[in-house]
Every structure is written in structure tokens, then in C-alpha cells.
Structure 1
Amino acid sequence: MGYTKAQEYLYSLRNSGSKLGLERIKILAEELSNPQNNFPSIHVTGTNGKGSVCSILDSIYRTAGYKTGLHTSPHLVYLGERIRVNGQNLSRDKIVQYTEELSSIADKSGVSFFEFMTGITFLEFAREGVDIAIIEVGLGGEHDSTNIINPEISVITSISKDHTNILGNSLSEIAHAKAGIIKQNTPVVIGVLPLEAEAVIRKVAKQKNAPVYAISGSNYPETALHGSCQRENAAIASLVVNILQSKFPVSEAAKSKGLMSVTCRGRWEKIKLITGQTLILDASHNEGSAAILAKNLAELHAQTGKQFTFVCGTLGEDRAQAIFATIAAHAHEIYLVTINQPRATPANELLKIAPPKASIKSLSQLFSSPNRFLPENSSDIIIVTGSIYLLGEVLSLIDETAALHNEVCLQDKI
């Protein structure tokens, strides 16, 4: 099997849609001799911030000399981004190898694309002998396929409304779904949560005799990632490291260096284009992250005194409304695009609810060549926001290397 055939197989799994529940992943893991039990792990969920917290933890532990495994989703451009050992993406050769190895077993259990990739993660981390694995939940927590691990600690970064059709319409329902990752007698770290959500988390934790640790105060540690929310994420990661200190010692110097050397693509990521313009890739995609975007925009406007060009596409009109309300006051112009994803909201539908400065363009019209943004009357700062999938598409257009590995369409169908 070559890489093209492996992709075709993975596309077939992806096109069958998402499947919540642990039955299939348990069957797959059992057939693989439960590799998830062969390495210690940290389990991270949350409406926003979980990817950043995972990246910070990975950076700190790698800096401290540990061999780390990092499982995140979705990927931006290349499928192997989801599964990293010591910061290195899973290679195409290994993706082919694992697809050949797991496909016959997976076909029997009827696993989804995400479950298949989760199985690969567990095998890779076990075979590589990672010292510590940081595992990001795909969706929710209780019924997510990553929830068959027995972690050293569980982490809930934030709770706000998103995926309400699956997780529930209230904060308490969403909190209960995410509290599903809490394990018996296993510590839990929480970020700043709404009182309604925190009450649910603490109730579940008490039932499972799981001690709860929450970040407190406002003097959060510095980090290389931009924004006040990232300092909260840094505080969450630092608290996790402190709690696990007896099992996984980390010096203060290593922790500080890890915090200041972390990278996390698409989180207010700045790229200089050959036109001299600054492109900012921002993964805001829901009500909670729109509030964070508002703070970043206010800060940027205070620094520059300018308005900005926005490129926006979303998965869902409710998400678009939150983003539009945030960017309207800062917009020089807004270009609406249709993301190449099954649940993407068409640009013509977005236009009906968009601010007056909005118009429809395709990404190929806006980014016609690598490192260049075409509209000549645009502002000096271009901000791409609304969906992490959109960021991957833009990266595949502006970065020649990314274009060679473009797999932005091979995503979870949720």
C-alpha cells in the first residue's frame, strides 16, 4: 500500500461520519493488546484552550528532557500533525504502515476516522516508549474515543457553548459531558469556568474522589503564545506540572524555558507576507473564543490605530454571528469564503448576516500565489478567522511546502 491508497482508505472512514461512544475503540484497542495502558498520560478537554494547553505541556516536558507524545486534532495541513513524538509529526511511511496494520481490524469493528487515528496514536506512543503522552480530547469527553486511557491527571481548560447539538444546550450539560474524563482517585485541574459549569465538575469529581485544583489569582506566567487567554493556559499547564512533580520532576528553569519556546499554529499566529503585510491566523470559532478575539483586536487597534482586513468562514451561522459581532467595529473590509468542509456555511448565507463591509471571495482569489494577498486596497494587517479548517486552507495556499502536503480536507466529519 502506498500513501495514496492509505489516504483513500482514510477518506472512506472519514466519509462515514463521526461516531461517539467507546464500544468500537475498546474493541480496536483490545485487538491491539491495549497499547494505551503502556505509557503515562495527561488527558485534556475544554471548549477552548485545550490545544494550547497540550502544546505548552509538550514544550515544558520536552524541555525538561522527557520523550513526549502529543495527540491533537484537527490538523492544519498535514495529517501527521495529529500524532507527534518529541515534536516530530508522524511520517507518511508510518501512516501507511499503520493503515496496513490496522485496516482489517478496524473494518471488523466499524471504527470512525477519528477512532482509527486514535488507535494509531496509542500504538505509536507505546512502541516509541514515550515518557509522558499529552492526549487532547476530540469532542466533549465522556464519549470521546480518547477516553479509554487512565491518565495521571485530567484537565478541563474552559467551558462555553459549542457543539450544542451533541453536547447539550446548557453549560451544565456541556460540563457534564466534559467531566466524563474525570477518573476515580485521579486529580483534576480546571481553568476559569462559569460557576454553573464548575459546580458540575466539582460534583462529578467528588463522586469519584478526584481532588480538584483550580488556577487562581491573575498573576499568570508569561508564555510565547499571544494574549491574556494564553497566560491562563500557561497557568493551567504550570499547575499540572506542579501537581505531577513527584512523578515527573521539572525544574523551574525548564518550565520557564518551555513556556517561552512553545509554538501552537493558528493561535494568533503572525506571518509576514512578501507584500510587507502581516497575516494573522486566528482559530476563533465559537462564542467563547470570539470573546478572546475581541481582547486581541482591541489590543492590536490600540497599538496600531488601524482597522483590519478580515477573511472569515465558519461552520454554522451561530458561530458566524459571534465572530461578526466581534470584528465589525475593527473591519476595513471583510471577505467571506466557503470552507471546503461538509458542514461549512456557504458564503452567500454568511453574507445575509454579515456586517455591511462584507463581500464574497474565494480563497484562490485572495491568495493567488504563495506569500501574497491579492486585493491591493487591503489594510496592512489581514486577519483570517472563523474556523481552524479555514486556517489550514490558507496555509496550503501561502506556503509552498504546505501545498505539497495539503491534506486539509482529510478531517473529522463532525
Structure 2
Amino acid sequence: MAPHVCIPSSAHLWPIGELGNPQKGSAIPPVSELTDRPDLHQIWARTWEVIPSPTLTGRRGVATAVSARGLDWLFARSGGRIKLGLDRVQALLRALGNPHLDMPTLVIGGSNGKGSVATLCASALSAGGAKTGLFTSPHVLDFGERVRIDGHPLPLDRVEHFLARAAPQIEETEATFFEATTALAFCAFRDAGVDLAVLEVGLGGRLDATNVTLPLGAAITSIDLEHTGILGDDRLLIASEKFPIARAGRPLVVGPVEPEVADWFHRSASNDGVELHLIEEDWSWRVRSQSETGLRADLAGPGIELTDLTIELLGRHQAANSALACALLQRADLWPGESAVRQGFADLDLPGRFDIVQTRPVPVVIDVAHNSPGVAASVATWRELWGDEPIAIVFSALRDKDLDAMCAELLPLAGRIYVPELDARRGRPPAPVADLLRRAGADAQQCGSVAEALDGALGLVETGRARGVLCLGSFHVAEGAYRVSRWGASARL
């Protein structure tokens, strides 16, 4: 481990029983005594190896089919609705020897950009010499994307090994799919001997399964109206659900938010003893240029100036995400050095973030943007790179998304919008989505699958009536588009 990455050896340890279920809008209070618990660490033997996964070779690499052994049983635990709460995951982690107590953590939540910020942090830490675990969700193509160690997805045989050993505990505690996957990540990280784990919150924060550690620092990327049926229907309610990932006496870095939300964070942090840092008060960022190969930006914060930084992500919002990642590493006393940050930010593997899978003869982009701010950012990035000519769009969304707002963002670029049937429990049927788009003035066509929709979009390009193809709206759209483009299911790609 590089000497400039200094990770406290015991400050992360927190007996799980002391956590409980945090109150809405409150950070968890300080723990008076933090002690190691060697008695809890004997259940799980350190038997896993960290090896590069053969299932993903990079953003533009070729993916291979994954084994379904064990995963069908795990995915069946998704159930019919989202079940939040910490009791089940606490019980499961206890049964598995509390693997989360064996490593310090960083936790990143927010409405948009949390996966990008988590990946930026992990990549910089790995480049600085720290063996780093990264837990994100959902995956795009391969389940192993959710659990990475120094950038390598967890191989499927390791997943199956965990499920074979932990199935009784998962059944006994009635853990959900996400709770079991979170426990898998902690066990994988512990058994690999990581120096630190970076955790992306799944949903909200207060009752999310990742909210079971005492992180060295936390970040909230943004506060937007999303999952309103669960988190609340205004930004302050949503902020109150995300804020409890913060811990008293530890730094919380918050991305660009509205003034009313910023004031709320100031009051809440003061009341709970959280060390608050608003990114817009401490840091600045400026995009120098954006091209098909990436972003170049200047970032500056307290005592840090990064000029002409290469970021292997597209979209001007990624400069703000990069500044947020830098601020979190600095405030958590994990700054790995400028050279490591430069290397880590220039060498990312993050599928589905405005990923250009083809540039010639026309651009084809796959993006996991799945709410109106994300769609707006995707459309803005396309227009900056290739202009305002009409394009073919492959689009659909899940039932809990603000479809009207997302569709409104698409209209300025839409030549024709192809709406596929999604292979997802919460997917919307294509007919009402296409009808809504037509009522808004768009040329919309419903399709039986993402493959059919993408083939139609490429056919429109061939007629000269579309400048390119943009696939977005859901991780399920992105997955289907990747499977077509990477395995040659369309002769037109």
C-alpha cells in the first residue's frame, strides 16, 4: 500500500448491534468505544482469490455470457416490491461473522452520479496503491460488476461459492436480493484483504443495506425528485432520507444542490455534529474540452489544483462528480496524491455512462440515464459533441420514473423514438409510453425488444433521416443495447 494513503486501522470498527435503525433526517451519533471483535471474525475463512474476470474486458470490450448457477435463486429474492430496513442485513452480517467490521469504508449516496463518484474514488485509491473494493448497483451486463476489487469484477465462481455457503443464513434472515448482495460484497472484500471499501448506496440511505458501517467519510452527489413513493415527494424529504449515511464527527461532502436544500444540510449537520462540506463552497471546476475520447477539466480545492485533468467519462456534469470525489478523498484523509488521481481518473471502466460504442459511420451511444436530470445531461452531451440534427432514440423507463419529464427532455433531438418491451418486472409496457410520446409531438414506434428497437433505429440512420442512435432510459435498455452491439445481433453495427 502506498505510504501516502493513510487508512486508520481501527476507526471503522463498529459492533453492528449498536447501529439500530437510524431516525429519518438524523446522522448516527458517535460511538464512545470502538473495539476490534476478533471473536466475530472466525466464521468465514479467507479463501477467495482476486483474479481478473473474463466476463468484462472494458467499456468497449466484448462481454461473454455468464453462468446462471446460483444467480436465479438470488434474483428470485427480489420479490414484488422494495423492502427497506436494516434488521435483516444486520442479522445476516452477524451470521456471517460481521465482515463489514474488517475494513474502513467510504459511502456515496445521491440521486444521480453516485456510481460515477464511487468509481472515481475507488480508481484513484487503487492507483495510489491501496487495495480497494468497490460495491455499486445495479449491474449493466455482468453480475460481477457490482463487486470489484482494484477494478476487477468478482468472478461468477466466487459468487456461486458465497451463495452455496451463505444460503442457509440468507434464508433464515429472509434477506432480500440487495441485502444478500451487500453481504456478498463485504465477505468478498474481507476475504481479499482490501485496505478500504467504497460503497454506493442502493436507494435512499437511512434504511439502505449499505448503511451498516462507520465510514471514514460520506458524500451525497445530488438531491432530485426520484423514488418519490418511497423517499418523499419533495427535495427536503428526500434529503432527510439520504443524510443519515453521515456520521457524527466525520466528513460529509455534498454536491451541487438548491439553496433551500443546502440550508437544510447546514442545519442538520450542525444539530448532529457532522462535519459538512458543500462542494460549491470549497471547490471549483471548469471543463476545458470535451470530445469523443473523454473530458479534460481543471479542478481546484483547498490546497489542491489539478490542471488539464483527463477524465474518462463524458458529460460536463462529470467534472462536478470528479471534484466531489477529490473532495471526499481529501476530507476523509485518504488523498492518494495528484499522480494517482490523474491515473485513476484517466483509467476507468464504468459501463453505460454516455458510452460511445460506435463512432463511424455514425455515433451510437449507450447511457444508463434513468431520470429526467440524467436524460437532460445525456441530451446536452450529445448536442455538444455532434450538434442538433435529429437522431434515432431507443428509450423506455421503469414504472416509478417521471415519464413526462423524461420524454420532454428527449423531444428536441428526437427524429424517431423506438420504445421497446423491457424484460423487467417494473418495466412499462411500450404502448402507453409510445402514446405519451406521440401526444407530445414525437414520432414514436413500439417494439418487441431492445434488439428490435435498435435495429429499427439503425435502419432509420441508413435512410439518412437520423444523425446517430442514442439508447437510454433504463439500465435494462442499456443492457439490451450492449448485448446487441457486442455480440453482433444486429448486422447493421
**What TM-score comes out, normalization by structure 2 length?**
0.76
Please give the root-mean-square deviation of Cα atoms over the aligned residues, in Å.
Answer: 2.3
Find out whether 1:6 has 2:70 as its counterpart.
yes
1:256 Cα deviation from its structure 2 partner: 1.8
- The answer for the alignment partner of 1:292 in structure 2 is 377
How far, CA to CA, are the matches of 2:326 and 2:72 in structure 1? Answer: 41
Deviation string 1:150-178 (CA, Å, 9 cap, x unpaired) is 11001100000000000000100000000
Shifted more, 210-219 versus 171-180: the winner is: 210-219
Point out where structure 1 has 5 or more consecutive residues left out of the alignment: 404-414
Find out whether 1:132 has 2:196 as its counterpart.
yes
The amino acid of 1:157's aligned partner reads T
1:135 Cα deviation from its structure 2 partner: 0.1
**Ranges of 4+ aligned residues in structure 1 off by more than 4 Å:** none
How far, CA to CA, are the matches of 1:30 and 1:386 in structure 2? Answer: 38
Q: 2:486 aligns with which of 390, 399, 404?
A: 399
Q: What is the percent sequence identity of the aligned residues?
A: 27
**Matched-pair contact (CA < 8 Å) for 2:144–2:156:** yes
**Equivalent pairs, count:** 395
How far, CA to CA, are the matches of 2:329 and 2:202 in structure 1? Answer: 22
1:183–1:23 distance in 2 versus 1, CA, 3 Å: same
1:305 Cα deviation from its structure 2 partner: 4.9
1:96 Cα deviation from its structure 2 partner: 0.8
- The answer for the alignment partner of 2:332 in structure 1 is 244
1:127–1:286 distance in 2 versus 1, CA, 3 Å: same
1:399 Cα deviation from its structure 2 partner: 1.4
1:401–1:74 distance in 2 versus 1, CA, 3 Å: farther
Find out whether 1:227 has 2:315 as its counterpart.
yes
How far, CA to CA, are the matches of 1:55 and 1:388 in structure 2? Answer: 17
**Matched-pair contact (CA < 8 Å) for 1:160–1:287:** no
Give the 5 Å matches for 1:30-109: 30-109=94-173
**Matched-pair contact (CA < 8 Å) for 2:420–2:452:** no
Find out whether 1:146 has 2:210 as its counterpart.
yes
When Rg is computed on C-alpha atoms for both structures, the one with the higher figure is 2
**Matched-pair contact (CA < 8 Å) for 1:271–1:279:** yes
**Matched-pair contact (CA < 8 Å) for 2:352–2:368:** yes
Find out whether 1:330 has 2:417 as its counterpart.
no
Instruction: Give secondary structure in 1 for the equivalent of 2:138.
Output: coil
More helix, by proportion: 1
Shifted more, 23-32 versus 323-332: the winner is: 323-332
Deviation string 1:80-116 (CA, Å, 9 cap, x unpaired) is 1100111111111111100011110011110100000
**What TM-score comes out, normalization by structure 1 length?**
0.90
- The answer for the alignment partner of 1:314 in structure 2 is 397
1:196 Cα deviation from its structure 2 partner: 2.5
Instruction: Give secondary structure in 1 for the equivalent of 2:402.
Output: helix
1:165–1:402 distance in 2 versus 1, CA, 3 Å: farther
Instruction: Give secondary structure in 2 for the equivalent of 1:154.
Output: strand
How far, CA to CA, are the matches of 2:276 and 2:444 in structure 1? Answer: 45
1:41 Cα deviation from its structure 2 partner: 0.7
- The answer for the alignment partner of 1:119 in structure 2 is 183
1:186 Cα deviation from its structure 2 partner: 1.1
Q: 1:339 aligns with which of 400, 417, 422?
A: 422
Q: 2:445 aligns with which of 356, 359, 365?
A: 359
Give the 5 Å matches for 1:198-277: 198-216=262-280, 217-219=284-286, 220-221=298-299, 222=309, 223-245=311-333, 248-272=334-358, 276-277=361-362
The amino acid of 2:380's aligned partner reads K
Find out whether 1:382 has 2:469 as its counterpart.
yes
1:289 Cα deviation from its structure 2 partner: 1.7
- The answer for the alignment partner of 1:411 in structure 2 is none
1:133 Cα deviation from its structure 2 partner: 0.9
Higher relative contact order (CA 8 A, sep 6+): 1
Point out where structure 2 has 5 or more consecutive residues left out of the alignment: 1-65, 287-297, 300-308
Instruction: Give secondary structure in 1 for the equivalent of 2:70.
Output: helix
The amino acid of 2:320's aligned partner reads E
Instruction: Give secondary structure in 1 for the equivalent of 2:394.
Output: strand
How far, CA to CA, are the matches of 1:198 and 1:44 in structure 2? Answer: 17
**Matched-pair contact (CA < 8 Å) for 1:366–1:374:** no
How far, CA to CA, are the matches of 2:190 and 2:220 in structure 1? Answer: 25
Instruction: Give secondary structure in 2 for the equivalent of 1:242.
Output: helix
How far, CA to CA, are the matches of 1:26 and 1:352 in structure 2? Answer: 45
1:337 Cα deviation from its structure 2 partner: 1.4
